A and B are shown apart, each in its own frame.
Chain A
Amino acid sequence: MSGAPLSGPSQAEAALAAKTVRGGWLLSLPALVLLAVAAVGPLLIMVVYSFLLPGEYGNVEWGFSFDAWTGILFTRDVFDDTLRLEDAHLSILLRSVNLSLLTTIFTFAVGFPTAWFIATRPQRQRALWLFLITIPFWTNLLIRTLAINEIIRAEGLLNNILIGLGLIDQPLQIIYTDTAVFIGMTYVYLPLMVLPLFAAIDRFDMRLLEAGYDLYATRFQVLRRIIVPVVKPGIIAGSILVFVPALGAYVTPRILGGGKQMMIGNFIELQFGQGRNWPLGAALSVTLLVIVTAALLVYVRFANREVRHG
């Protein structure tokens, strides 16, 4: 490939290239239409709604207002109309980001060795292991989460076993805590981390390991200087696939966190339900989208720089 002298494109070639580009644009039209209808449209509706007034029984009333946006972090005092920082809202946002980050880190810590293990099995066994990894997808998320509830609740399996073994006297209070949400999300999102990692490690040329050892690298240096940078695309993909849905998680915090340990997803749902504040819900949704996009941009930029400078 390389080394071939590059000649300037002739006019005929340029014309052909222009034609191909135009044809390519036409071909991507269905995708563009789909994108407009399925992504841009709803997003626009959301943005518009976030600047309207809440209706008394849900829905919106037409009338321009910033209230929804200030309502994300502030409450208006009923007596003197001043704005106060709303700690509860802030803590929901922070908890969402924290739990999602923790989940991403932990699924990586568990998922990487798992993916490595699978990718280094003989070809035949690999399919079996991958199959096992995907089994949880066969059951509805709600049911899987309820199963975890069944295990970790006060009179659940885990506590019964621990008490039976005499390790504890009082049941551990795990259910309806951040820990419960974390456990649930780690379990639910682990396959999303393992699969892209597996794909990257599967493509990894194991002979590079020998080259590393041959050039005096220790095991840790081989991991840090060779394996991690080479499979980085898989790490990035896995982290995104876990972090993004974790940040918007709804079912898991709802069931395992109870009513109190809300995440942003539950908070949004609340606005469209009991809260009857659709504009606030819309503003929160847009906020979530912005956080995710910003996080992704920073992360991808950072990760690529790492790759470039070894």
Chain B
Amino acid sequence: MSQTIAISAQNVIKAFGHGEHAVRALDDVSLDIRKGEFFTLLGPSGCGKTTLLRLIAGFEMPSGGTILLDGADITNLPPNKRPVNTVFQSYALFPHLTVAQNVAFGLEMLGKSKSEVSARVAEMLALVKLDHLAARKTSQLSGGQQQRVALARALAPQPKVLLLDEPLSALDLKLRKEMQIELKRLQLETGITFVFVTHDQEEALTMSDRIGVMSSGHLQQVGSPKEIYTRPRNRFVASFIGETNFLPATREALGYRLDCGIVVQAPASQAQRVTLTIRPEQLRLVPEAEGDVPVKITNLVYFGTDTHCHMSLPDGTEVVARLQSPSDGESGLQVGQGIGLRFLPGALQVLEE
């Protein structure tokens, strides 16, 4: 993959309202999105994902900062001058036009010739597998079909960047899974840079080349799904992506002393008081004498393939381990039992506060 930058947001600020009612939807966000990658903006509701997307599309003007597209400043260009297209969450299909006319709209506005438009429309409809519905009105389509029309319409003018604002959130689970695969395929086939917004962490992990995790107007961490999952930078990222355990600790010469008094190893850090984190699947239960920490089982929750084992450390800190359920369903564990807990080597991470 080429490493040149498609979209570059530099110190972007977006404030809504004035005076004491002002809301900073984006607070000094800097971000580089590479050409041809599937980039996901992930974060809880209200964190500013849509706002950032709308700034890239040109529907909103930033209160500060610059936005570059292929190195050129597009901060002040109106949306109809940006080679960027959007798939809207509501689809926003034109109700008075057929499927084919919807897909043709952007091409016609760009002044393409009739033959070029019809060839491209046919190509796009084939790409999203809607050839047979070309003459339908969009109101006569299912949600998934409307979704595909919205995709074809946005892809038809061959934008440099495709923006997708939670395009799958209105679909039911099964269709959503299908469309996730479909989207990934479209991105690979067209080679267009996708900027995808979601608040579903699983969706982000499975689809993205890289993820930008946002919270309250700030970009918390940018990295590949693996990086984000295994080396979360701070408490927010660690808890937002997947489940995790937090262990308060103090830095010492030979490692970190957990609040229960036991010293463990983890990557170096500047701070004195830190929070260590470890994923539930990186914990192992062993006989009490062989463990790193002695714990007491407080609850066992059976999930089929997995069993979640809730435990408390001597100082009362709660942790959860995810264990594979044994084939006979009998783990031999019991609530109230004392047992040893072992951290997989290298699994403990240090979080910035």
Contact = CB atoms under 8 A, between A and B. Distances in A.
A216 B97 contact: no
Contacts of A225: 105
A213 interface: yes
B142 A2 contact: yes
Contacts of A210: 57, 59, 79, 86, 88, 92
A37 B206 CA distance: 71
Contacts of A212: 105
A229 B96 contact: yes
A1 B157 CA distance: 31
Contacts of B119: none
Contacts of A179: none
Contact of B94 (A2, A213, A221, A226): A226
A213 B96 contact: no
Contacts of A214: 57, 59, 79-80, 84-86, 154
Interface in A212-253: 212-218, 221, 225-226, 229-230, 232
B140 interface: yes
A220 to B, nearest CB: 11
Interface residues of A, number: 23
B80 A211 contact: no
User: Which of B79, B96, B97, B157 has the most chain A CB atoms closer than 10 A to its own CB?
Assistant: B96
A232 B92 CA distance: 18
Interface size class of B (residues with CB under 8 A): 20 to 34
Contacts of B57: 210, 214
Contacts of B154: 214-215
Given A2-B140, A207-B90, A210-B88, A216 B95 contact: no
Contact of A216 (B90, B93, B101, B157): B157
Interface in B58-92: 58-59, 78-81, 84-86, 88, 90, 92
Interface string A275-310: 000000000000000000000000000000001001
A218 B95 contact: no
Nearest to A207: B92
B14 interface: no
A209 to B, nearest CB: 9
A208 interface: yes
B173 interface: no
A96 B157 CA distance: 50
Nearest to A230: B96
B110 interface: yes
A205 interface: yes
B231 to A, nearest CB: 37
Interface string B35-71: 0000000000000000000000111000000000000
Contacts of B80: 213-218
A218 B85 CA distance: 15
A24 interface: no
13 contacts: A2-B140, A2-B145, A205-B90, A208-B92, A210-B86, A210-B92, A211-B86, A213-B79, A214-B57, A214-B59, A215-B153, A218-B109, A226-B96
Interface of A: 1-3, 205, 207-208, 210-218, 221, 225-226, 229-230, 232, 307, 310
